[in-house]
Amino acid sequence: MPDEPAYALEIQARAQFLDDQSKPEDDRYVFAYTISIVNTGNVPARLLGRHWVIVDANGKVEEVRGDGVVGEQPWMRPGDRYEYTSGAVLETAIGTMHGSYRMLADDGTEFDAKIPRFSLSVPRTLH
């Protein structure tokens, strides 16, 4: 009996505060985040879209949905890595992001890959 196809991504995030683009006096905190995606499944797949949930320290929730990432819809073979950098603007010095990527495997199966929650914070704000 053949193994079932595995659909899986390993997703890691790194965030940094962009002091030169931020204006704390105007409640504007700008962050860059770099996402690394590895296709750990055994079927090639294309990233069709994204869904982000961004929450600031006041509990304000912003949801962002869109096609692809940074204008691309990368196709990844098993073992391939794709990395990109994007940004988010918060009204507070601390927040979080999490979400999912909508994927289409070469065999026609669509699946969601969960993006683990990560923190956005101004340096020396969190202990």
What DSSP assignment string belongs to 14-29? EEEE-GGG-BGGGTBE
pTM for the whole thing?
Answer: 0.91
Structure tokens at 75: 């196709």
Contact 23/11 with Cβ under 8 angstroms? Answer: no
What is residue 126's predicted lDDT score, i.e. its pLDDT?
58
* 6-52 pLDDT tens trace: 999 999 999 999 999 999 999 999 999 999 999 999 999 999 999 99
What is residue 41's predicted lDDT score, i.e. its pLDDT?
96
If pLDDT is split at 50, 70 and 90, which confidence band does 125 have? low
Half-sphere exposure of 102 (CA within 13 A, CB side): 11
Domain ranges of the chain: 9-121
Q: Which residues contact 112 (CB under 8 A, 6 or more apart)?
A: 100, 101, 102, 103
The CATH number assigned to the domain with range 9-121 reads 2.60.40.1470
* 49-78 pLDDT tens trace: 999 999 999 999 999 999 999 999 999 999
